[in-house]
Structure formats: C-alpha cells, structure tokens
Amino acid sequence: MARLLNAARTPTHCAPAADRGVRALAPSLLLALLALPELLAVPAAPAVAQMNDLDATIDVRAIASDGERSYLDGGLGLLRFDENHQGLRIGELRLGYLGQFADIVHVTVEAVSYADGDRLPLDPTEAFVEIRPFPYLGWRSNVKIGAFYAPISLENRLQGWRSAYSLTPSAINTWIGEELRTIGAEYDLDWLGRQRGHDWEFGVGAAAFGWNESAGTLIAERGWALDDRQTTLFGYAADLGVGPTHRPRPFYWDIDRRAGYYVDGNAKYLDDLELRALHYDNRANPDVYEPALNDYAWHTWFNSAGARWTPAPDWTVISQWLQGDTCVAGLLFCWQYGSEFLLGSWQYGPDLLSARYDDFQTHADHPAFIAGVEQIGHAWTVAYERELAHSLSVLLEAMQVDSTMPARLELGERPGAVERMVQLAVRWDINIYH
C-alpha cells in the first residue's frame, strides 16, 4: 500500500509559495492565543479577570499487552501499548487553564505530555476563546475562536477531552483525537426551551477552519485504532507507510489554502436524552501537492450521529455512528470508512462500571488496484473506576481488538490479529490555583 501511495505522490500542482507564509503564521497565532490569559489579566483597566482556574492530572499506569507492533512504533497494531511497551507507563500528564473575563469571555487551554518523545515536552491539544453573551428571550449564542474539537463526541466529556467512562475511548473518538481539530471559528445558536417551560432544547452550529488537509491519512494507511493519545497541536501525527517508509508527520498543515466547514445540530429532552448530528467536509483539493510533506491534500468528509440516554440517574447508554470518504492524489485513491459503538455505564456511589462494543471498517474504491488497505474489525472494552478520594481514583480496563488488514503482510505479519490489553491506572487530579 505504501509503495503504491508513494508512487502516486508525483506532483501535479505544488502549493503556492504564499501558502508557506500562511503556515508560518499559524504557530504564532496559536502561541498568541496561549498567552491571552496573561494579556487579559494585565491591569490596564479595573480588574477584568473574574475566574482563573489552573488544574493538572497525573495518570500513571501498569500495562499488560500482547498487541502487535503499535502504529506509534511504525507497525499496524491498533493499541497504544504493544507487547514491547508493557510495565509501568505514563498515561498522561495534563495541565488545564480556564479563565473568565468581563462575564462573557472565556478562555480554555489544554496541554498534555505523554512522555514518549514527541516534539515538545508539554504541548497544547486545545486553545480557544469563547464569547458567550447572556441569553435573550430563551435564545443563547456562542462564538468560539482558536483550536478546539468539533461537537461530535458524547463520550469524551471530561476536561482535556477525555472519556468519562474508560481509559481508552471508542474507535470514533480515537480517530477524532488523532487527526481532527478545528483551527478556526465556530458559531452556535441554542433555544433554551426549559427556561421557557418546555421539555426540549435545540441547537444548531457551523464552523469554518483550515490547516486540516492531511486528515484521512491514518484512516487510509492504518485504518481505525483504539487509544487515548490525542495528537498535540505542535506534535507529530503518525504517517504510517509500513516498515522503512514510516515517518512522522506534523499534525496540522495548510496545503491548499481552502477553508473547510462543518454544520451540526443537537436536541435535548429534559436530562434524559441528548441527540447530536454533524456533517464535516475539509474541502481539500486532492490535486494539490505539498513537497515538504511529500503528500497531497486529503479530501475528507463524513457524517456522524449519536445519542446519549439516561434512563435512570445511575445508568447511561451512548451510541454513536460515523461514515465518510477520504480521497488523495487527484481522486486516484479513495477510501470509505465507518464505525459505530454502543456503550453502557452504571454508577453506584464511588464505583463506575462501563462496557463498550466497537465495530469498524475501511474499504478502498478499487481494492484490486490498491493492495493491502482493507480493514475490518471489532473490539470489546470493559472498564471499572473507583473514586478513592475527591481527587484520586483508580481505573482498571480490559480490551480485546479483533481485526483483519492485508497490509500486515508487508510487515511479515498475518493479516488477522487479536490484540489484548489490560491497564491499571492511578489518576490524581490537582487543583493548582483557583
């Protein structure tokens, strides 16, 4: 597969020179955004800072795994930790900032370290400003600017965009954390029906973004995976190939200077039911070639839908679905990809027990021509969390992933693999400043 892709990466149209200036400006803009809390806190006027929260998370794990060589190590295993990365490991070291200024301006910065040799020892995953005007006649607007996640996940609800139910999120939310980030602006409009005496609330939103034309690479070259390692904004996203063609790839890159978009909608019934749907299209031009990446822009689009049902205060049921296409090299290579999962969770005092089933598949338009890029699989995850104290918890998770991918033949491995992993984590949440 990698040899065919590399053969296709002969330039037909190079990205314009002006594009390099746009890319060079992007890190400066994000760094300015990271500095915004300090700028806003300067007492040029009567103190406008109304809230400054700084917190951290330390996540340390004991790992037992028989997984194939992980994609993070140049293989085609679908787990974060393989059999060569067992024992005591850092799950994550997280730092988060929440600020509120002048009542309606909110700043969020999330940064993380995985202690695995990425470009920066501590790197942001999100950094954005929200403007939330006060509701008027039951209507509420929200404007978000910066780098943030699209409103897709019903599972990753904790600070730092982490799963509230397990250590490892679903295949859908794994991929979102690996390859998708909105670097742009989003507008939401919500009707707050419950404030007007109704049972339902509704919302719609839209966003425009850039620097995401390489999204789709992992889906095409590796397929789906299950891990909790979010790609950081200035870090590397794996670009598989196989064997000696493995190389790191910067997470964001503006190849064709075209803005992408998504539109979404949601509905809530009391505290019992939440529905969500989204259409995403990065509008990349698959004819444009970027020599610095030795790759084309990937035109990636998908639809997603999900529901979260709370039939009783201690029970939660979540189901999500995502289906889309990604194309590269002037539509010469295209893949269809899809995944869905069903999760059930039960809370009993300080104990939380969750189970999830994932199903996923990736198919090439012309599998006889594009050898080795087919993938089909499913996974079971069972997780248990015990809250030991207000800020200290222990989590135990067991996973089994069954998948078939002919590309493993290029690594001298069997196409089918059954990978198992057990993780025992101790997680400490620290309130540094309030």
Averages of pLDDT over runs of 10 residues in the chain (434 residues) are 42 39 39 39 46 95 95 89 95 97 94 90 96 95 98 97 98 96 97 96 98 90 94 77 52 86 98 98 93 87 98 97 92 91 98 98 75 84 96 98 92 93 98 89
Q: What are phi and psi of 303, to 5 degrees?
A: -120, 145
Continuous segment of H or E residues that includes residue 237: strand 236-239
pTM of the model: 0.87
Note whether 303 and 284 are within 8 A (CB).
no
| pLDDT at position 171 | 98
What DSSP string runs through 30-65?
HHHHHTHHHHHHS-SSS--EEEEEEEEEEEEEEEEE
| pLDDT at position 399 | 98
What DSSP string runs through 180-233?
--EEEEEEEEEE-GGGGT-SEEEEEEEEEEES-TTTTHHHHHT---B---PPPT
| pLDDT at position 305 | 98
Domain boundaries, given as residue ranges, for the chain: 2-35+60-433
Side chain identity at residue 312, one-letter code: A
| pLDDT at position 409 | 87
| pLDDT at position 93 | 97
6: number of Cβ within 10 Å: 13
Task: Give the homologous superfamily in CATH for domain 2-35+60-433.
Answer: Porin (2.40.160.10)
DSSP 8-class letter at 432: E
- Distances from the Cα of 188 to the Cαs of 11, 66, 174, 272, 331, in angstroms? 39, 44, 25, 22, 33
